[in-house]
Amino acid sequence: MDSNLLKVFVEVAKEKSITKAANNLSFAQSNVTARIKQLENSLGFSLFHRVPKGVILSREGEKLYPKACEIVKKVEQVTYEMKNIDNQEHLIVGSTESNAATRIVPFLLQLHKDYPNTNLELITNTTRDITKELLNYKVDIAFVSGAPKSDDLIVLNKINETIVLVEPKENLCPNVFLSFKNGCAYNDFGQNYLKQISEEEHKNLEFGNYETILGCIKAGMGKSLLPLSIVKKLKYEKDLKITKLPKELSNIPTCLVCRKDYIPKIESYLKEYKF
């Protein structure tokens, strides 16, 4: 059985959409359809039912799915290990936007200096989405906010963060919580924290970068909870009212993590790296 066909099958099943799977795989939609048909012909049964919003697994497809996932992951793992059998030839780094804004550039520069023959690739997103990419073998290591919840992940390194409540320095602050987009760990923590300390409801506004969030807070639009490192990096420390949260309430370190079964060759280097 062709593992490439199984990879396409797994992606379609995961997305429940041929169009989305084609986009993820950088294939033409007709190519994905043809590969699914080829796999169905080789097995002798249909794998999907078409529904108005996409596709769903057939009974036979549901039986194949967990086995196909296992095969695809094993093939990817073997490919990765063979490419890096003697050294780390390629490393895909995932990072939250907050970590990317504060320390990813020095890290990548030093990594490139110490391992000049390693090809580096960076992907940024929220903790939720980067963790998903890591679990799906799409990135090799990742910087995430907070300790990982999955038993499939291990922590290679940890950076303690000081979480602060950030408010306008001079203006009265309305009950508006400004946050990074959905899936950010600071977003979830901030909303829960404000519910605990205030009986008043807070309107939530989401933004695509931290520079905009801090600029809007300075203008009096609302408040946020962020790592102090971001506030300092973007040079807003003197422009805003900053209140440090007790460590016992806001223990959200930035963790460098990887899969237990997908540990990079430079594991020791990553564990000893000083941030």
Q: Which CATH number describes the domain made up of 3-83?
A: 1.10.10.10
User: Whole-angstrom Cα distance, residue 253 to residue 186?
Assistant: 11
Q: Is the pLDDT of residue 131 over 80?
A: yes
Residue 155 backbone dihedrals phi, psi, to 5 degrees: -90, 125
- In which band, very low, low, confident or very high, does the pLDDT at 247 lie, cut at 50, 70 and 90? confident
Identical fold for domains 3-83 and 90-160+253-272, yes or no, is no
Residue 66 backbone dihedrals phi, psi, to 5 degrees: -65, -35
- Paired strand residues for 153: 259
pTM: 0.68
Q: Give the start-to-end residue ranges of the domains of the chain.
A: 3-83, 90-160+253-272, 163-244
What's the pLDDT at 86? 55
CATH topology of domain 90-160+253-272: D-Maltodextrin-Binding Protein; domain 2 (3.40.190)
Out of 129-133, 198-202, 203-207, 255-259, least confident range: 198-202
User: Whole-angstrom Cα distance, residue 162 to residue 270?
Assistant: 22
Q: Which CATH number describes the domain made up of 163-244?
A: 3.40.190.10
